[in-house]
Structure 1
């Protein structure tokens, strides 16, 4: 659990971060001019049992970092209050709210002894609510915790009844929630129900009513990471929990009221992803998905659903879309700007980025 001493230490470090931004390592050769404007936020690994959340400019070069009590995972960004929320990696014990402009620590919320966080959350479109994926430790019963932003992130509601083991929640442009329900009951990180797991992509109203649930034909495809295309299409990335020598598709698209549509690649290409998709982003033409376990990322045509390019990237991690192109992070420190298949550039950030990035609009 997060202690008062930890809170004080974090606050001290956050205040120091206001005046001591982190300068990028090894950037002289890249000839990239560093900006002072925050544009990207992601969690990072700094060393053995040492973790932080990093605020970066549009190039992916660090402006400052704040220490985390344990390894972080996803980050939610509030676009008008300059708030960001770093969520602990599952089974997480905290989420931390901070000002991404000043580095000020706003609040550190601890999970109760009966609950844990699954590593992701998102703000409502109007900025009033923070939605977080949560679960009961004893049963992995899925919960979306609802927190009142203006009331200091007090919990005001819980949505449930959609399954076991939710991982990521996103907000659609029309305010509906899409939830990647992994379907796996765990003890810590150890799975307990792989034979009977029931993953789904679940849609909720903004008041928590279940609208629709869809599943893939293989129940061992645990639906985990999500993105949307700025309109009505949800993209979901899976973790395969079945036979180790089988390599089913790990990406799918869905629109409410329609069937799931798996994206296409050859089995040997899916094998490169090592049964796991971490981060997803989409433009109007392309879909990009990363796999840190596979040390690669792929680019699919949104119109044909076919894999167009497969790129090697050690510990390929976060991806965001901006103005029709992608930024991809790496646990080895590289930052890729991918304009289209075959058109990319690379710099070195000096940051050991973790699984996800979030973009400040």
Structure 2
């Protein structure tokens, strides 16, 4: 076994591994795991079932990133990652395009969006202005901007129909070069979509970290950070990279070795049972169990280039840039190799 294979299937905790298909019970619900990725040099929107079998695959103009879903999960939105400028509304069962649009003039998309029952919100920006939220109706017709007072809005999720949460990285860039590395302002902001204004802003003590990815479940918010200076690693292994919003303060999670993430977290997902965070740069993912209203570290797993993660009831799914998809339930992990080099984010659609 070569080193790459060894890392792919070596684990820091005791789990049971099975290769091949994975088909744990989803209580008779039909589920589709949808993400974007690369196949034979071309970008695609892809869906697989819970056994890893393909459901649909459609070509995309360029790299896409996050997949968001509407309230009844009948539709999804796949959105370009900077420097792309397209967003595509599609039927979640077939992947067929409903409508595709381009970013407003002079703007690009940051790769993330969210739905409420009334509107669609997309993180938008350009190299000359502060970040904005582009607001659309549910048919993807542009309505208006919500102005933000910072650079680099990234992942966005709805708290309810009237408020959205945004992880703002704070970095001003041109052609991916950071212009304000020595003086950037990263935060999580809460926006009132009715009044179109920021109503809360939350920061962490360590302002060397850029907050980029977040997840909301049952109105609880968790946010992940990264170190924007890739030449620097913290010597202190206790420097936290994940924070939970409690009592109007971002409180750090505990982890035995935060440097395992190699200063970058690609995706986070949590539910009533656990939280999962992935790092393609660290070739690892971590799992925290949710016990007594607290996230408690459980286990560390190693997968080459792991990034996408989503959860459904008691089951977790993740994907890698090498084409592996994995499923875990009750300490049993099942894996399957696909031909898709998955991008950073996944989402589970079910009906």
Task: With the length of structure 2 as denominator, give the TM-score of the two structures.
Answer: 0.85
Match of 2:214 in 1: 226
**Distance change >3 Å, CA 80–CA 36, structure 1 → 2:** closer
**2:332 alignment partner, one of 343, 347, 354:** 343
| 2:56–2:94 contact (8 Å) kept in structure 1 | no
**Distance change >3 Å, CA 133–CA 283, structure 1 → 2:** same
Match of 1:184 in 2: 171
State the shift of 1:231 in Å: 1.9
Q: Write the mapping of 1:277-356 to structure 2, written as runs, cut at 5 A.
A: 277-303=265-291, 304-340=294-330, 342-356=331-345
Match of 1:19 in 2: none
State the shift of 1:153 in Å: 1.1
Match of 2:14 in 1: none
Structure 1: segments with no counterpart, 5+ residues: 1-28
User: Which range moves more in the overlay, 104-113 or 202-211?
Assistant: 104-113
| 1:36–1:63 contact (8 Å) kept in structure 2 | no
Q: Secondary structure at the match of 1:103?
A: coil
Match of 1:148 in 2: 137
**Distance change >3 Å, CA 112–CA 188, structure 1 → 2:** farther
**Distance change >3 Å, CA 219–CA 349, structure 1 → 2:** same
**1:217 alignment partner, one of 186, 202, 205:** 205
Cα separation, 2, equivalents of 1:73 and 1:31: 25
Match of 2:148 in 1: 161
State the shift of 1:174 in Å: 6.2
| 1:292–1:314 contact (8 Å) kept in structure 2 | yes
**2:250 alignment partner, one of 260, 264, 287:** 260
| 1:36–1:57 contact (8 Å) kept in structure 2 | no
Greater strand proportion: 2
**1:245 alignment partner, one of 201, 224, 233:** 233
Q: Write the mapping of 1:49-68 to structure 2, written as runs, cut at 5 A.
A: 50-68=42-60
**Distance change >3 Å, CA 296–CA 163, structure 1 → 2:** same
Cα separation, 2, equivalents of 1:305 and 1:38: 27
State the shift of 1:107 in Å: 1.8
Task: With the length of structure 1 as denominator, give the TM-score of the two structures.
Answer: 0.83
Q: What is the count of residue pairs matched by the alignment?
A: 322
Tell me the alpha carbon deviations over residues 80-116 of structure 1, each in whole angstroms, 9 at most, x when there is no partner.
Answer: 4722111111233111122232332222211244211
State the shift of 1:296 in Å: 0.8
Match of 1:135 in 2: 125
State the shift of 1:238 in Å: 1.1
Q: Secondary structure at the match of 1:271?
A: helix
| 1:38–1:57 contact (8 Å) kept in structure 2 | yes
Tell me the alpha carbon deviations over residues 236-258 of structure 1, each in whole angstroms, 9 at most, x when there is no partner.
Answer: 11111246131631111114x42
Tell me the alpha carbon deviations over residues 56-75 of structure 1, each in whole angstroms, 9 at most, x when there is no partner.
Answer: 22334321111111111001
| 2:76–2:91 contact (8 Å) kept in structure 1 | yes
Match of 2:108 in 1: 116
1:236 and 2:216 aligned: no
Tell me the alpha carbon deviations over residues 249-285 of structure 1, each in whole angstroms, 9 at most, x when there is no partner.
Answer: 1111114x4211111123xx22221111111111223
Structure 2: segments with no counterpart, 5+ residues: 1-18
**RMSD in angstroms over aligned alpha carbons?**
2.3
Q: Write the mapping of 1:76-91 to structure 2, written as runs, cut at 5 A.
A: 76-80=68-72, 82-91=74-83
State the shift of 1:44 in Å: 0.8
**Distance change >3 Å, CA 123–CA 174, structure 1 → 2:** closer
Q: Secondary structure at the match of 1:132?
A: strand
User: Which range moves more in the overlay, 169-178 or 36-45?
Assistant: 36-45
